[in-house]
Amino acid sequence: MRRLRTAATIAALASVFVGTAPVAAVATPPSASRTAGVCSTGWGSLPKSAADTNTAPLTNIRTGRHNCYDRMVFDVPTATGAVGYHVGYVGSFHQDGSGRLIPVGGGAILEIFVNAPSYDSDYRPTYAAKAAKPLPGVKLTGYRTFRDTKFGASYEGQTQVGLGVRARLPFRALQLDSRLIVDVAHTW
């Protein structure tokens, strides 16, 4: 017991002279490394696009918060292939077809075109959004990057959305099953 107490005293004194305190070895959970501020993306902020063969309609738009980015998901559940898109920053948001200016809040605006109409083959709405209005059901309270959403139009088989973000930040677009996913990083 005396040896153990002596060893502890020596370690404590050594830490005082070196300027560090003794530290116990603790395993870091995998999720902690993501929250530690390391969020490299390499995505960039230039326009991104991909083609598709989809003719299915858009049924929902939803958002989610993650440690390093905010996410917007476009659901096209009956798509038989990848959902095409064009996503890029614009100086102002204009409704497709009419050219009408639609104000979008935030420091920068991402214009998102999804190759899926918001109506079915009989022209019945499948996603009940209104031009120049916020996206139905999308609440952005508590998001680090997303600031505002506006529905542009569903015109000639494409749906247009304006996404207001905090600043011109890196983003990516992913085709996944019957969804289009747009992630915008919290920082560079």
86 — pLDDT class (breaks 50, 70, 90):
very high
> Is the same domain home to 115 and 152?
yes
Q: Are residues 20 and 56 in the same domain?
A: no
- Asked if residue 137 and residue 173 are part of one domain, the reply reads yes
| pTM of this structure | 0.80
Verify that 20 and 55 share a domain, yes or no.
no
Range of the domain at 11: 2-35
| pLDDT score at 37 | 57
Q: How many domains does the chain have?
A: 2
Tell me, what's the pLDDT at 19? 40
User: Over the chain, what is the mean pLDDT?
Assistant: 84
Domain assignment of residue 28, yes or no? yes
Is 41 among the domain residues? Answer: no
Backbone angles phi, psi at 40, to 5 degrees: -75, 135
Report yes or no on 147 lying in a domain: yes
- Sequence-ordered list of residues with C-beta below 8 angstroms from that of 118, at least 6 positions apart, any chain: 57, 58, 125, 126, 127, 129, 154, 159
| Domain presence at residue 140 | yes
Q: Is residue 148 part of a domain?
A: yes
In a domain, 66, yes or no: yes
CA nearest neighbour of 148 among 106, 85, 113, 183? 106
- Whichever domain contains 133, its CATH number is 2.60.40.3500
The residue with greater pLDDT, 19 or 82, is 82
In a domain, 43, yes or no: no
Three-class secondary structure of residue 30 per DSSP: helix
Same domain, yes or no: 59 and 124 = yes
In a domain, 40, yes or no: no
Residues 16-45 have a mean pLDDT of 51
| Sequence-distant contacts of 10-19: CB under 8 A, at least 24 apart | none
Sheet holding 85-90, edge to edge: 48-50, 85-90, 108-114, 158-165, 146-155
Q: How are the residues of the chain apportioned to helix, strand and coil, as percentages rounded to the nearest 5?
A: 10, 35, 55
Q: What is the mean pLDDT of residues 86-101?
A: 97
Place of tokens 């992913």: 174
